[in-house]
Amino acid sequence: MNNDQLLKAVTEKAEKWLGPQYDAETRAEVKAMLDSDDKTNLIESFYKDLEFGTGGLRGIMGPGSNRMNIYTVGSATQGLANYLNDCFKELDQISVVVGYDVRHNSRKFAELTADIFSANGIKVYLFDAGCPTPEVSYAIRKLGCQSGVMLTASHNPKEYNGYKAYWSDGAQMISPHDVKTIEYVNAITSVDQIKFEPDKKLIQVVGPELDKEFLEDVHSLSLSPESDARHSGMKIVYTPLHGVGSRLMYRSLEKWGFNEVIHVPEQDIQNGDFPTVKSPNPENHEALDMAIEKAKKVNADIVLAADPDADRIALVVRDKKGEYQLVNGNQLCMLLLSYLITRNAELGRITGNEYCVKTIVTTETIKRIADANNVKCFDCFTGFKWIADVIRNMEGKGRYIGGGEESYGFLAETFCRDKDSISANSLMAEMAAWAADKNMNLYEYLIDIYAKYGFSRERGLSIVRPGKTGAEEIVAMMKNYRENPPKELAGSKVRIVKDYLDLNCRDLDTGKLEKMNFPTTSNVLQFITEAGDKISIRPSGTEPKIKFYIEVRADMPSKDKYEETVVLAEQKIDRILKDLGAE
């Protein structure tokens, strides 16, 4: 389609949004786009429909078929409601949970979602205020609901919002429900099909009692209460980054016995503009600058954080020089699983029936820790719905220890089925207390893990390519990596190529081809070198970017050589990215 054809198509599509079925504000904004000489915004807003993917919706807010607004949210909810009514015809009353975070329009979208569900005869448990994403997952299970929706765009910039859809087990949907829901949502082709008029009798506001029950269940995960008591005065700085983490996190740390939790007052304020940070993403060091400054002032032991919907976590520890260092996502997952496995072993609870879960792009050091401690380690695709799928398949067959991924997410429990910063940060504080009993801080514990199980270093790189041309560029990049895989990376021969799009694992030395055992396919490529380095490449499923995950192995001669080994490993990662053309 050439530019003239594209403009004609989007113009025709946009003109339909001038009809009386759309509200006056939307009509005015669309008309302004149509009248503008610069058609960029018009094209970006209408060149496609915002896709209801396997995790729901996520996009920039504004009018248009490719934006988050009351009509795209309405279509998604009506489609999901239709599917639920078809799936659960035998129930006297279908019910769902609806939660939301601090983002602009999150409450508006949540109330709209509740109204549409109720208009379709579905009972809604609507949270009384912004709540953590994991609490929605928890509430679905606790209240025996058939589905749930969380209005959030997680750690994306302030212009974004999103719609996460969950199934009855509290996990984001997988096949067949994800595919079927998409079919039902795509069948909503007109605003006239959406039932906007609510049945208020079917909407019940919830919150405080669920908060209490959730915190009690989170506290049941504690493995070292004596350590918590001995180090109750440990100084912990926590920031919710303007998000909903403040609803539960301070109370959770208090319940675990920590009474020196220091706030970052400016970031306790819930604000969808996220005014004190460039990006509310705990993966970015800059997002934690204010918390680290506070830590320096009060001489804190650790810094904990969460993203705006309180599912992702962050940890800052003190190195040998007393300087504060951000722990990366792989190390977070590795630290928590190492603690949970080690502590279970100390308590005599490892029987050979335990398991943990990590994603295919997460550090292989975790598997070495699990293997060494007689704990099975499962690999799954990126996304906590796949970790939840392993938990579902293992019910009655094994005991879940924990699971996580490199993108700063961890799940320590089965009563929730999505990543959870409340339980993970509580366990992080306890791990620091337990390590202190062994005369270590968490930086020293990290080095101790590498000394026992082997050193690895990881780095993620995201290349953003927004808009229509960006999406096309990402497709071309993946095609090129598949058709022209690298022969060498950082001087080490590429031995194995794993393509999760066709589930083929190719040994380039022998030519042997094996099928990998996964429940579905995923657009991920992996290269494994002779040196044991692992390089993964995948387009994001929720954002306009392509992601590179680099993990390199190295020999660490002794604990006091850790920093030197890190420098050499980082240099090796630089060479690999250069070889991939992804600097």
Active-site residues: which are they?
154
CB atoms within 10 A of CB 550: 26
**In this structure, what token pair is assigned to residue 555?**
């020999």
Burial classification of residue 563, based on how many CB atoms lie within 10 Å of its CB (0-12 exposed, 13-18 middle, 19 or more buried): exposed
CB atoms within 10 A of CB 223: 19
User: For residues 33 and 65, is the Cβ–Cβ distance under 8 A?
Assistant: no
Quote the distance between the C-alpha of residue 189 and its chain's center.
30
**In this structure, what token pair is assigned to residue 471?**
């999406």
DSSP H helices in 457-506 = 467-483
Residues with Cβ within 8 Å of 170's Cβ and at least 6 positions away in sequence, in order, are: 137, 138, 140, 141, 148, 388, 416, 417, 418
User: For residues 421 and 132, is the Cβ–Cβ distance under 8 A?
Assistant: yes
- Look up residue 260 and give its amino acid: E
Residue with tokens 């496609």: 48
Residues 471-508 as b or e (16 or more Cβ within 10 Å = b): eeebeebbeebeeeebeebbebebbbbbbbeeeebbee
**E-state strands within 45-137:** 56-60, 95-100, 123-127
| Positive or negative: CA dihedral 440, 445, 451, 453 | positive
Report CA-CA distances (Å) from 554 to 362, 444, 546.
17, 18, 26
425: closest CA among 443, 435, 411? 411
Query: What is the C-alpha R_g of the chain?
Result: 24
Q: What distance in Å separates the CA atoms of residue 439 and residue 212, rounded to the nearest whole number?
A: 34
- Look up residue 564 and give its amino acid: E
**In this structure, what token pair is assigned to residue 523?**
């657009």
